[in-house]
Amino acid sequence: MTWKARLHRLRMFLRRDPDADLSDELRFHIDMEAAALERGGMPADRARDEARRRLGGFDRYTEELRDVRGGRSLDALRQDARYALRVARRFPAFTLIVVATLAIAIGACTAIFSVINSVLLQSLPFPHPEQIVTLNAQNPDRSNPRFAVSYADYLDWRRSTRSFSDMGVFTGTAPTLLGTDEPERLAGIAVSPSFFDMLGVRAAKGRLFGPEDAIGETSESVVLTDGFWRRRFAADPNIVGQRLPFNGRARVVIGVLPPSFALDGRPIDVATVFAPSSIANVENHGQHTLIALGRLKAGVTLAQAQQDLQAVAARLADTYPDIRGWSANVFRFSDELTRTVKGPLLVLMAAAGLVLLIGCINVANLLITRAAARGREVALRQALGASRWRLVSQLLVESTLLALIGGVLGIAVASLGTRLLLRLAPAGQLPTSIPIDARVLGFALAASLATSLIVGIAPALRGTRTWLSQTLRDGGRTSAGSAHAPRLRRVLVVAEMSLALVLLVCSTLVMQSLRRMLSIDPGFQASQVFTMRVAPSPRFIDTTLVAFYRQAVERIAARPGIQSVAAANSPPLRSSMRIPMRLIGRPAPTEAILSSAIAITPGYFRTMNMRLLRGHDVEWNSPAPTLVVSQTAAKQFWGTDDPIGKHIAFGQRDTVGLEVVGLVADARTRGLVADPEAVIYMSYVAALSVARSLTFVVRGTGDMASIVAAAKAGLREVDRNTPLFNIQSVTAIVDASVAQPRLNSFLLGVFAAIALLLASLGIYGVVSYSVAQRTQEIGVRMALGARSADVFGLILREGAALALVGAIVGIAGASMATKLIQSWLYGIDRGDLTTFVLTSAGLIVVSLAASYVPARRAASVDPLLAMRGE
């Protein structure tokens, strides 16, 4: 069947009145019967009534006939759907509240799910992605199981292991593309020659690296990513074969990668072949600088590969003294990519799920109320012969319709929500776009249907369990189920309250953690300092490289508006280098310590406003490179001894080491939250082999644009072909380091606010309903002398009691749920008493506020009116 035909049938299905034929036939019958009665002498109008009576009730009749006629369920469904729409229109306020509640709740879930879908559920863009693993070194004290890999290790691993069909390494590069006015710094990777073959990536155009590129030092090939090819060359179809003027060396484009290609989320413009000689002391097994990937042989498990690799690594560690004690680890690549976001996402999904659950409870409560109000309608329909199943299914169709409308709107909410998320999320954590694809739509549909069942089944069963005579006699004011309904509703509201408290406690804890993080003193002054990275032209080596940086710093500092300039091998809070070192002059000086190190130029501490406690800064002109150590390092290495004048050696054979000339106050180096660690600030002169590309830190007056312009102008005086990139204010870096906690606390806060709102609506509903039910009782009380204030208190106490029970259950729940967010907390205990007390009190206050209106209504009941009945 074509789409059109299907659509047509659907339309006919919805439009055709199945009762039309039937009504014609029955109408004919009535006409004939009435005519016959008239002929027998009955007056015309009486004859008609009599004929109708004999046929016995039109409606019930068509219902029964439909039962007989078959195709009943479909007809019934159609009828129910139309009836449900009619009901929805008849109670617009009710429908609006229900649909809005579900739209927000389903939307929240769907938004988080769409993130999970795009982050956790997408497979790597390689064939057999489950075979791709990361290979990591493991340092002796096992503090970091994901250490970078040395080229020498990689070669030995590749040769000696048997679990892998191939291995490859890559490292980030920052080539500069010349040929236009402004040199452009690119994001590159240098890969081992068979890297793409190992991954199973095929070129979209041209070819990827082959045998002729086996030696990185001589390979002139460059491969472009699809994005770079489109951006920079407007998808030029003749790109293959073109020469590109890279700084220091022209390269020939041999191919373009497919659009799907991605590694670990880093932006990539170009790929070249890795040249081992670009790493100093590359033959040294301890030179951990590369990222290694491997492909498992078919049928080899992760555990087998791990065992294989560890055995090989153990042999190597025994052979080479500079990696004594080192081991290796294998992780699945897909797991590694999502490792940091998986936990937070699942917790947020659980939080969104709680919101949906609370929304469901609220809607179920509303439906129960309405089912009670519709008791008379239900009883009438039963009296007219509708079976209970028929009524249940009709009520279920009604709740399904509401849930589906809520679901459709929820998708809209989710689409807005994901856009907001993308704006708030820390850079690099989420993909650039989060599509609402078939899987997300399926999730929203499933959530809606599950919701409709959860909210619909209890009211439907309860609402149709009626004892006819009683309901009709009561005038439909109370359905028979209503004797129990309040208890169920109370249980539901208590559940709602407790779930809301769980979210409240969690979000309050996370928010306080964020507040504490933001009040951390990083040990430096971030305002008015800007960072920009620089990749010096390859023509600068050794002494000329030092001269380049020295001149650049001096020229930039000479610009107007610039107060202070220095350079370091990593921006503030982004330090990642750890190098092995030995303390000279200790009784046992041989033991290697792995410590954080930052290479700096003179003036770094002044620019960052870090306090130099003793000694002096590193200098350009000192006879040998010098060191400055952090307070923590001094205490850790030498205890209370004066660190000035001590020596630290790097490398196996060095017995003299470099002299410590200064002691600087602790500063945060690995994000705002990580505690200050032992840091060795080494003069850049000693660290040439470790870092070619440094980051300037520039303190100046005026806005960012003018300071950056001054820095660019200063740098251009030294070298025209050196671009500045990764330009950021230090304030932004500080902000970014708490972006994830900020996002977590924002989302949890939103969820908790929604939950609290829904729960207070729930309390309001239950208390209002109870006031309506007890109007007569209240009237009697007042007639017997109760004052308005007594009644007011009575009703208020009812709300408070619900909240109190909810709070107690919620505290129990929260004390377990906070385990999930323990790793998000900073400076606050997950069982923090103040938080628990304050949030519980807040919950009770809110529910008292929600009970206030119905309590006032109860207090203003006129006893005479109330006792008279309605």
Partner 1 sequence: MHPNADVLQGTLDLLILKAASLDALHGWGLSQRIRQISKGVLEVNQGSLYPALHRLVKRGLLEASWGTSENNRRARFYKLTAAGRKQLASETATWRLFSGAVDAVLATQS
* One of 32, 74, 412, 849 touching partner 1 (CB under 8 A): 32
Least Å distance between CB 848 and partner 1?
A: 58
**Phi-psi label, residue 747: left if phi above 0, alpha if psi -120 to 50, beta otherwise:** alpha
CB closer to partner 1, 70 vs 623: 70
Specify whether the CB–CB gap between 766 and 485 falls below 8 A. Answer: no
CB closer to partner 1, 57 vs 442: 57
* One of 7, 28, 86, 130 touching partner 1 (CB under 8 A): 28
Least Å distance between CB 43 and partner 1?
A: 17
Beta bridge partners of 694: 534
* One of 4, 20, 21, 298 touching partner 1 (CB under 8 A): 21
* One of 19, 29, 204, 776 touching partner 1 (CB under 8 A): 29
In three-state secondary structure terms, 247 is coil
The closest alpha carbon to 207, from 193, 188, 189, 227, belongs to 193
CB closer to partner 1, 61 vs 746: 61
6 binds partner 1 per the rule CB under 8 A: no
390 binds partner 1 per the rule CB under 8 A: no
Binding mask 67-96 for partner 1 (x = CB under 8 A): -xxx--------------------------
Least Å distance between CB 801 and partner 1?
A: 54
| Torsion sign across C-alpha atoms 147, 151, 153, 157 | positive
Beta bridge partners of 627: 660, 682
Q: Per-residue DSSP letters for 12-23? A: HHHH--THHHHH
Per-residue tokens: 611? 């306090």
Q: Which range, of 23-31, 139-147, 720-728, 854-862, touches partner 1 by CB under 8 A? A: 23-31
Q: How many CB atoms lie within 10 A of CB 426?
A: 16
Phi, psi torsion values for 729, nearest 5 degrees: -85, 150
Q: Which range, of 27-35, 167-175, 309-317, 480-488, touches partner 1 by CB under 8 A? A: 27-35
* One of 26, 386, 408, 612 touching partner 1 (CB under 8 A): 26
* One of 6, 8, 11, 24 touching partner 1 (CB under 8 A): 24
CB closer to partner 1, 28 vs 467: 28
Distance in Å from the first CA to the final CA of the chain:
58
CA 77 to chain centre: 40
The closest alpha carbon to 832, from 558, 553, 509, belongs to 509
CB closer to partner 1, 40 vs 211: 40
Q: Which range, of 26-34, 440-448, 534-542, 755-763, touches partner 1 by CB under 8 A? A: 26-34
Per-residue tokens: 407? 């679901």
Residue at token pair 């990696």: 323
CB closer to partner 1, 36 vs 558: 36
Beta bridge partners of 328: 137
36 binds partner 1 per the rule CB under 8 A: yes
How many residues does the structure list for the chain?
Answer: 870
Give me the helices (H) in 56-201, please: 58-69, 72-90, 92-119, 151-160, 195-199
Residues 6 or more apart from 451 whose CB is under 8 A from it?
Answer: 102, 105, 106, 356, 359, 360, 363, 403, 406, 407
Least Å distance between CB 25 and partner 1?
A: 5
Least Å distance between CB 65 and partner 1?
A: 6
Least Å distance between CB 420 and partner 1?
A: 57
- Tell me the C-alpha distance between 386 and 79, whole Å: 13
Q: Which range, of 49-57, 545-553, 781-789, 796-804, touches partner 1 by CB under 8 A? A: 49-57
Least Å distance between CB 56 and partner 1?
A: 4
Specify whether the CB–CB gap between 239 and 256 falls below 8 A. Answer: yes
- Tell me the C-alpha distance between 327 and 717, whole Å: 48
CB closer to partner 1, 65 vs 809: 65
Query: CA of 383: how far to CAs of 343, 380, 615, in Å?
Result: 55, 5, 98
Binding mask 52-71 for partner 1 (x = CB under 8 A): --xxx----x--xx--xxx-
- Tell me the C-alpha distance between 750 and 658, whole Å: 54
Q: Which range, of 50-58, 103-111, 232-240, 661-669, touches partner 1 by CB under 8 A? A: 50-58
Query: Could you list the residues that contact partner 1 (CB under 8 A)?
Result: 21, 24-26, 28-29, 31-33, 36, 54-56, 61, 64-65, 68-70
